[in-house]
Amino acid sequence: MSGPLTIGDTVADMTEQSAAPQFATAEYSSQPQELACKSCGQKITSAFYRVNQAPVCAACVERAQQQLPRDSHQAFIRGLLFGIGAALIGLVIYAGFAIATGLVIGFVSLAVGYLVGKAIVMGSRGVGGRRYQIVAVALTYMAVSLAAVPTALSIHMQHRQQHSQASAPSPAPADSTAPAPAPKKMSAAQALGVLAVLGLASPFLDFADPMHGIIGLIILLVGMRIAWQLTAARRLNISGPIPLTERAPSASG
């Protein structure tokens, strides 16, 4: 059994309790806070910066600013070419799925927007900005809307083939008059132009069925927004320099 408590014992107990960390309250230190750079891991001994709310030393901030991708004509052309390639792939995917399944699913627009945005960023090597966003949105719209052209042509060919098989050819009468002149045909360029215009207008032509048209247009707008966000300019949120001697509460728990 322990002996009776003395004043010395009581003081010792109080000293041990005060030495234990108090997790419920903020602790203030009279010494400068020790910080480590989130980039290089080195101890920060002077003024520091906050990059996206993380403490970073001055050297790493300068290095990060120098390593930011620079916009240039070459970067834009590369991003444009990559974006066009991704738009063509998206068009093939969208139309191919519709032709193979007979279903036109608007949610494919989201994948097209993602493909175009990522391709532009890859081609530009990380450069983004307003002109990249405009190109990404335009290519996404063109890929999705023009996918209606091969889809409609495939459906037309299928109906025409079924109709020709169902109707047997009838012999021409002996005393038939001279055949009427065939209507003037459009050139290949004219036909492609008409199809392109109809394709670009297809998201609005779908409003013949209002519910289907509204849902399809909303999904297309979401896909375009994805492409817009992916190609935004890359910026660092930098604040500072902040003196290391500033004292701030370090609440734990």
What would the two tokens of residue 142 be? 């063109």
- Which residues sit opposite 51 in a β-bridge? 54, 238
The 10s digit of each residue's pLDDT in 17-36 is: 444 444 344 444 444 556 77
Residue 63 forms part of a structural domain:
yes
Domain shared by 50 and 152, yes or no = no
Beta-strand ranges (E) seen in 69-120 are none
What would the two tokens of residue 131 be? 């002109």
Number of domains in the chain: 2
Domain shared by 42 and 141, yes or no = no
Domain shared by 117 and 216, yes or no = yes
The 10s digit of each residue's pLDDT in 139-171 is: 999 999 998 888 877 766 766 666 666 655 555
Judge contact between 34 and 245, C-beta under 8 A.
no
Q: Mean pLDDT, to the nearest integer, of 189-208?
A: 78
Higher pLDDT residue, 93 or 12? 93
Amino acid identity of 234?
A: R
What range defines the domain where residue 83 resides? 73-158+189-230
Residue 3 forms part of a structural domain:
no
Per mean pLDDT, which of 132-146, 159-173, 192-206 is the most reliable? 132-146
Residue 25 forms part of a structural domain:
no
Residue 14 forms part of a structural domain:
no
Q: CA triplet 18, 35, 30: central angle to 5 degrees? A: 40
| Spatial separation of the C-alpha atoms in residues 129 and 80, rounded to whole Å | 13
Domain shared by 87 and 145, yes or no = yes
Domain shared by 147 and 47, yes or no = no
